[in-house]
Structure 1
Amino acid sequence: SDKTGTLTKDEMTLRRLWVAGEELAVTGAGYEPRGIFQRDGQDVAPGDSVRELLRAGVLASDAHLVREEAAWRIQGDPTEGALVVAAAKAGIDKLALDRELPRSGEIPFTSEAKRMTTLHQTPGGIVAFAKGAPEVLLGSCTRWRTADGGEAELDEAGRVAIQGAARAMAEQALRVLALATRTGAAPDNAESDLVFLGLAGMIDPPRPEVREALRTCGRAGIKVVMITGDHPLTARAIARELGILQGGRAVTGAELEAMSDADLEREVEGIEVYARVAPAHKLRVVTALQKKGHSVAMTGDGVNDAPALKKADIGIAMGLTGTDVTKEAADMTLTDDNFASIVAAVEEGRGVFDNIKKYLMFLLSSNIGEIGLMAGASLFGMPIPLSAVQILWVNLATDGLPALALAVDPPEPGLMRRPPRDPHRGIFTRPVVTLMLVGGLWSTLVNLGLFAWALQSGRTLEEAMTLAFVSLVLIQFFKAYNYRSDRASALRRPFANKWLNLAIIWELLLLGLILYVPFLRTAFGTTHLPLADGLLVVALAASVAPVLELAKWMERRGWFGAMD
């Protein structure tokens, strides 16, 4: 999963500034341009060096701060928005600054370059402002801003100090940007011989619901790997906070480049965090995981993410920030860009698959019972036990409504505690087929035996057919409740499906009308059912419940093969 906006809120807030060897804290939350600057816990006014740093961040950004319906929000990239908001806290207005120093050129950000540079017209000539990853931008700097506002040569000691400050920020789960400038700039030299201005550390807080969603993934046998363009230390800190990094490795894009495909395939299962990666790396990660036999879901929002999403078993595009190309390449679109919604979708998908299985188990088991009854009677030379109208009624009404109710059955408790099912196994696994056959064959035995007993005991054919018809209908109802799960007892939450309860009640009312309303008795060829016969039929029909319970008990102990 991508980190920004999926695992986190995508609401960057600048928290730390490092300028000329000093660190300042910035207060405030969200995008409201209200906050104070502090040094060692004491409120301070932002000095010239701090204001220059913030001006550079604003000029090298395309985001804008707008107020809509009493709320502040950012138009553009949230990282750039954090710089614009921090500058506003220091009294620097982006619109006014853009008018004062109009942009005359730009070297845009790319995931490979990890930097962005803009050129601006000033009374003294063209000035370049750059922002980017500290390890990238620092290599282009030859001087740095001093505490008195001057410049000094950036020697090795200065570089070590800057790298240490960036590392300290990253270890606090802050995304760190470096900012630099150059006077007398031109498009061909704007990214060299820069003056280092300072560091900005910002935080994108994790979504509060993500931690529980990640724990749910762990219980469900789903491994979550975080992919981010952040500094490795920032990535590790956030991954530890979320519970993603639990003893596995964190690797960078540079380390991935150094790995062969065979090396990556060998080590990919032990990697939990990828930092400073490019979109092309995602494709390699997906391919390596698939070669290890894993089903892979990959999130993405940029155009360059499309190949990885296309390659993944489930490509997931971001609905809010994703490009049209990404959405076209993806299998599903996440409308709120929230990782917790992916977990909810997994649970929903598992529930839908389970319900398809319940629906088919019930219908096919019912059909086996009906076919077995008719075929058995013919095989043993008995009269036909059901009339054409009765067969139609059983197929259309008795089987139909309960089957539809099972299709919308609530998810079973513990659904997200099961390991993922084998994608190569279909619905009709050995345990499912066994339960289906047990229910169908028991129905055949009970109904055929009851019909034969009725004929042998001197009942008329019409009475024997009525007993068989009622028994068949009732046994389907008992099976419907048993097939609400292919593993759990029917006694657990037996009436949790209100639609099934309503379907059974409605069918019982209709059955009563068929038995006791004269013109319906004539139409269906049934007779009045005495109380004693009714109790006998109910008892025999109910016998399918303990039989299926026994089959489930044996299934849970692996008698019929591995469960899904």
Structure 2
Amino acid sequence: MPEKKWHTYDRKETITYWNTDAKEGLSREEAADRLEIHGPNELPEAKNESAVLKFIRHFNDILIYILLAAAVITGVLGHYIDTVVILLVAFINAAIGYMQENKAEKALQGIRNMLSLEAVTVRDGVRQNVSASELVPGDVVLLNAGDKVPADLRIVESSNLAAEEAALTGESTSSEKKTSPLPEDTVLGDQENMVFSGTAVTSGSGKGIVVAVGEQTEIGKINRSISEVEELKTPLMRQTDRFGKTVAFAILGSSFFIFLFGYFVRDYAAGELLLSIIGLAVAAIPEGLPAIISIILALGVQNMARRKAIVRNLPSVETLGAVTVICSDKTGTLTKNEMTVTSILTKDHRYEVTGTGYDPAGEIQLDGSQVNTESRTDLFDFLASMKTCNDASLTKKPDGSWVMNGEPTEGCLLTAAEKADISIPQYEVIQKIPFDSEYKYMAVLADTPEGRRIFVKGAPDRLFDLARGSGDFNEDSWQQAMKKRASKGERVLAAGMIQVDQAKETLTHEDLTQDFTLLGLAGIIDPPREEAVIAVRECASAGIRVKMITGDHKDTAAAIGRQLGIGDGVKGLEGREIDEMTDEELDEAILEYDIFARTSPDNKLRIVKALQDNDQVAAMTGDGVNDAPALKRADIGVAMGIKGTEAAKESAQMILVDDNFETIVGAVEEGRRVYANLKKTILYILPTNGGQALLITIAILLGTSMPLSPLQILWVNMVIAVTVSLALAFEPLEEGTMKEKPRPVQTPLLTPYYIFRVVFVSILIAGTSFAVYLYMLQNGVEEQMLQSIVLQTIVILQMFHLFNCRNETGFAFNKNFFKNKTAFIVSALLIVLQMFILYVPFMNTAFGTVPIGLEFWIIPAAMGVLLFIVIEIEKTITRKIAGRNN
């Protein structure tokens, strides 16, 4: 490859470097030889992981390792029912994880789908269609409007050639192409002498030399970047990893020391003691927790789907609740990606145009009232000029929506004309001068009721040149008007007119130099979504900072940012400035700037990394293939479902079905609800394990028989997990949650207060259960009956404890108490399951239980009410202490 970049080469240098000919192209033989050297113009297939490996990966959890070890030991000791039940629990957890989280990587396939299937090339001087995969460097490719660009090409001929590159560069308007060389530091979005694989030709025609194929193309580099991006674990997964390791080491350590104590101090037999220790480990392990987390997250996924947000993997639901920064693409995400005329300036008046997009619903107003266009000659002539000097088309579909075909800037001019209160004519065109970037205007010769006229549309500075010398042309006034519109981030187009002789049949550039009347200026902008303005405000209220990352120019981005409430409307960083920064410098700048313009895919990726280096939880929204690497790297990537490319969708963890930025706020709300309910679930389920483990520990330390068998302990854990634990997944969002700042990324699942609550409730449950156990033991109750009563006591205590946990520290009987009907349904189900294990003969045999009398339902229920009251008293004291400390 050359040392210089292709856009710095002139036409002859490019042709010479690749030893080709712009007219004759390569020979078939040379093309075949180069295909052997460079390989096909394709992107590599992604390697798919086997389904078996994906399933096995879900056993990769330290708590599951301990559970599997317990299964092995019980099997060796001949307790096969225990072994089967333990293995079944582990298998169910893995199955849930596998079914809910299929992380197959489809991003590379999404990019491959963007590539052109065929190309028109010249070989041996003959024009021919070839498969795009057979293109080689040096091939001469012909381009026409509507073509998909098959490889990266250096333009050597251009006739009004323009390409739509929003998916690659983020620009909302087509890029006009020319042939002259450019400076080396020209950013991707400004490389006007290049077209890139996967983009589309919108107008004109041209010819280019293939300079890169396959992985060497810009889209190929992004493809490689995606495959190299490290996918980070979500905050929840990092927290549960730490939590799992902490619990595992605590279980193993305490089990080891209790075994030594029981063996050497209490003289237990080794086999009996080992079974008791296994019971202790099984009691302490929250083996149902992975399944509960998966189910709660799956419910969150369903809720988000109803709110127009599709989540591709479960942990991403919770991640949204922790987001501190949303990095949003501008075009099509914060804005409509539909150019809109917002103002029309004539010599006499300044008109406002309402409505956005290509739907002509709106009005042309003067001083707040709809204009009578027929009586406003200046406005009528301006609209007629813009409508006649136009190659776009606007059509209404049967469903009532409007479709624009052509250049976005021309399409919005048609829409503006449709907003007039009368029908604006599109006069018959006799001859035209097509738009070209060399002279920056388009002109048509047309017949009108007032005679034959030339209408001209183009860049204001060029039309000012044409109007200079006209008697009523005040250049200073027009210049000021143009600069004012441009300062607001608007693209400005001018329209002019020349009255000519009725016999005139031809049109040349020289015809535009005399008697030119400037009709006016149109201010055009890709408008912000109305709902995005509200969403940005809501993000600020929730402590979430929004940053705009776009391929557009800084002034345009700053102006849109000002309208949206992002940044100060002035400050911004450009891609070339980011390129010159070290990682350390960018880490500092990232906290200061909110507007990032003219960015490349690498810039976006570095921005996300810089935020993560500052301990920010970053969401990245986007719709283009240029967004894909950053979408994949971000803590959560959010792609647009309607206008997003397949590459963006497959790289993201969440897809907005309606392309509505406001949907993200709803998703954040759901994420915070999910996280709050996950913590409530942990706060609820751990005392079950803690109480049982403490109960077994007390029994070993005191040298008594076991209050529960390992199988009965598993029953308690699983029956609690599949019934009352799930009720907390349906808890509504607590009031004021969306006014709080995002939780710090280092916040542990178990805060000091949570640890206190778990220990406190564990002691209450274990102490109450052991008191019942001792009382029954002293009264000579036989072992199976004794264990059945203890089992019943623990389960009923947990059922009452559920209603304490529905609100973390608030009073249980609040306005949400009866909203969660699931809490009452699963409580009833728990009672049914308890009746099943206590009164069905085969369950008695499997779990070593016996039927119990009515009094052993009433006594645990009374104890449950007492437990509920004690915990509510503790919560009230905690609220008062917290209130004094705030």
TM bracket (short chain): 0.7 to 0.9
| TM-score normalised by structure 1 residue count | 0.73
Measure how far apart 1:419 and its partner are. 1.9
* Cα separation, 1, equivalents of 2:745 and 2:807: 20
Aligned residue type for 2:668: V
| 1:506 corresponds to which of 814, 823, 829 | 829
Structure 2 match to 1:178 = 493
| 1:81 corresponds to which of 401, 405, 411 | 411
In structure 2, the CA distance between the partners of 1:12 and 1:162, relative to structure 1 (3 Å rule), is: closer
Aligned residue type for 1:332: M
Structure 2 match to 1:525 = 849
Measure how far apart 1:393 and its partner are. 3.6
Q: What is the SS of the residue equivalent to 1:224?
A: strand
Measure how far apart 1:499 and its partner are. 2.2
Structure 2 match to 1:403 = 725
| 1:19 corresponds to which of 346, 352, 358 | 346
Aligned residue type for 1:43: N
> Given the alignment of the two structures, is residue 250 of structure 1 paired with residue 579 of structure 2, yes or no?
no
* Cα separation, 1, equivalents of 2:627 and 2:355: 34
Measure how far apart 1:391 and its partner are. 3.8
Structure 1 match to 2:483 = 163
Are the aligned partners of 2:554 and 2:598 in contact in 1 as well (CA < 8 Å)?
no
Measure how far apart 1:552 and its partner are. 5.0
Are the aligned partners of 2:785 and 2:849 in contact in 1 as well (CA < 8 Å)?
no
Are the aligned partners of 1:144 and 1:197 in contact in 2 as well (CA < 8 Å)?
no
Greater mean alpha carbon deviation, residues 385-394 or residues 363-372: 385-394
| 1:43 corresponds to which of 372, 375, 378 | 372
Measure how far apart 1:422 and its partner are. 2.7
Structure 2 match to 1:111 = none
Are the aligned partners of 1:11 and 1:205 in contact in 2 as well (CA < 8 Å)?
yes
State the Cα deviation string for residues 499-556 of structure 1 (Å, max 9, x = none).
232111122234356667889778863344354x544322333444355446656776
| 2:819 corresponds to which of 487, 496, 508 | 496
| 2:864 corresponds to which of 523, 541, 547 | 541
Structure 2 match to 1:278 = 598
Measure how far apart 1:295 and its partner are. 2.7
Superposition pairs for residues 194-209 of structure 1, below 5 Å?
A: 198-201=520-523, 207=529, 209=531
* Cα separation, 2, equivalents of 1:65 and 1:477: 64
Structure 2 match to 1:134 = none
Measure how far apart 1:219 and its partner are. 3.0
State the Cα deviation string for residues 454-482 of structure 1 (Å, max 9, x = none).
22245454553343122111112123333
Measure how far apart 1:342 and its partner are. 0.8
Matched positions, count? 525
Seq. identity, %? 32
Measure how far apart 1:250 and its partner are. 2.9
Are the aligned partners of 2:445 and 2:455 in contact in 1 as well (CA < 8 Å)?
no
State the Cα deviation string for residues 146-169 of structure 1 (Å, max 9, x = none).
8xx9688885564234324655xx
Greater mean alpha carbon deviation, residues 34-43 or residues 316-325: 34-43
Structure 2 match to 1:480 = 802
Q: What is the SS of the residue equivalent to 1:357?
A: helix
Measure how far apart 1:297 and its partner are. 2.3
Q: What is the SS of the residue equivalent to 2:536?
A: helix
* Cα separation, 2, equivalents of 1:485 and 1:326: 39
Q: What is the SS of the residue equivalent to 2:350?
A: strand
> Given the alignment of the two structures, is residue 320 of structure 1 paired with residue 642 of structure 2, yes or no?
yes
Aligned residue type for 2:483: Q
Structure 2 match to 1:439 = 761
Q: What is the SS of the residue equivalent to 2:403?
A: strand
Greater mean alpha carbon deviation, residues 441-450 or residues 256-265: 256-265
Q: What is the SS of the residue equivalent to 1:225?
A: strand
| TM-score normalised by structure 2 residue count | 0.50
* Cα separation, 1, equivalents of 2:740 and 2:557: 33
Aligned residue type for 1:537: P
* Cα separation, 2, equivalents of 1:482 and 1:504: 14
Superposition pairs for residues 165-564 of structure 1, below 5 Å?
A: 170=488, 175-179=490-494, 184=508, 198-201=520-523, 207=529, 209-210=531-532, 212-226=534-548, 229=552, 232=555, 236=559, 243-244=565-566, 248=568, 250-252=570-572, 257=577, 261=581, 266=588, 268-272=590-594, 277-280=597-600, 286=608, 289-306=611-628, 308-310=630-632, 312-387=634-709, 390-492=712-814, 493-512=816-835, 525-531=849-855, 534-549=857-872
Structure 2 match to 1:68 = 397
Aligned residue type for 2:397: E
State the Cα deviation string for residues 306-353 of structure 1 (Å, max 9, x = none).
455455443322222223343344343222111111111122222333
Are the aligned partners of 1:144 and 1:154 in contact in 2 as well (CA < 8 Å)?
no
Are the aligned partners of 1:106 and 1:119 in contact in 2 as well (CA < 8 Å)?
yes
Are the aligned partners of 1:300 and 1:322 in contact in 2 as well (CA < 8 Å)?
yes
* Cα separation, 1, equivalents of 2:624 and 2:471: 39
Are the aligned partners of 2:467 and 2:473 in contact in 1 as well (CA < 8 Å)?
no
Are the aligned partners of 1:119 and 1:185 in contact in 2 as well (CA < 8 Å)?
no
Structure 2 match to 1:112 = none
Aligned residue type for 2:620: M
Q: What is the SS of the residue equivalent to 1:160?
A: helix
* Cα separation, 1, equivalents of 2:380 and 2:467: 10
Are the aligned partners of 1:515 and 1:529 in contact in 2 as well (CA < 8 Å)?
no
Measure how far apart 1:145 and its partner are. 4.1
In structure 2, the CA distance between the partners of 1:426 and 1:106, relative to structure 1 (3 Å rule), is: farther
Superposition pairs for residues 118-157 of structure 1, below 5 Å?
A: 137-138=459-460, 143=465, 145=467, 155-156=475-476
Structure 2 gap segments, 5+ residues each: 1-327, 448-453, 498-506
In structure 2, the CA distance between the partners of 1:482 and 1:130, relative to structure 1 (3 Å rule), is: farther
Are the aligned partners of 2:558 and 2:569 in contact in 1 as well (CA < 8 Å)?
no
